Amino acid sequence: MHVKIQFIAGFTPIIEDAAAGQRFYRDALGLPLVANADNPSYAAMNDFGGVRHFGVWTLADAAQSCFGSREWPSTVPRPQATIEFELATPAEVERGARELEARGHALLHGLRVEPWGQSVARLLGPEGLLVGLSYAPWMH
């Protein structure tokens, strides 16, 4: 017997600093997070589109994609997960990446096209989550 997963019900980065996490995801990325009335350190949003892809990605593959090497650099925190936010066009990915840099967020890499055709720029969130701004043509 297999568990029958219907959809991804939620994804929540585990953060050390609530204010830093909320600034990044709400203010820098523009996600409509609302603080919980009973617990203001927890901010969330509901009914925000679906997840179109779920995968299991090795650290070596993530390192290859981000740094062009199968080894994750020892000077960069190892991510525990990745989340990619889909944008409308590759130009929007480029614009978003430049905007995040202008807000002081260091990119791991700017816009690039992966061998499988995805346009993506990546950075680490404040909790070490690997965050991508993405355009995957097959999702449009």
Q: Are the CB atoms for 132 and 121 separated by under 8 Å?
A: yes
Q: Does some domain include residue 99?
A: yes
Cβ neighbors of 52 (< 8 A, separation 6 or more) are 86, 139
Residue type, 66: C
Q: Evaluate whether residue 20 is within a structural domain.
A: no
- CB 22, CB 36: distance < 8 Å: no
Q: What is the pLDDT of residue 3?
A: 64
Which domain covers residue 106, as residue numbers?
53-139
Residue 1's pLDDT is 63
Sheet holding 130-135, edge to edge: 82-86, 130-135, 119-124, 107-113
Could you tell me if residue 116 is inside a domain? Answer: yes
Q: How many domains does the chain have?
A: 1
Q: Does any domain span residue 72?
A: yes
Q: 120 lies in a domain?
A: yes
Strands (E), 34-106: 34-35, 43-44, 82-86
Q: Is residue 23 in some structural domain?
A: no
Kindly state whether residue 101 falls inside one of the protein's structural domains: yes
The DSSP bridge pattern shows strands 119-124 and 43-44 to be unpaired
d(CA 108, CA 78): 12
Q: Which residues of the chain have pLDDT under 70?
A: 1, 3, 5
CATH number of the domain encompassing residue 72 = 3.10.180.10
Examine residue 97 and state whether it is found in any structural domain, yes or no.
Answer: yes
pTM to 2 decimal places? 0.85
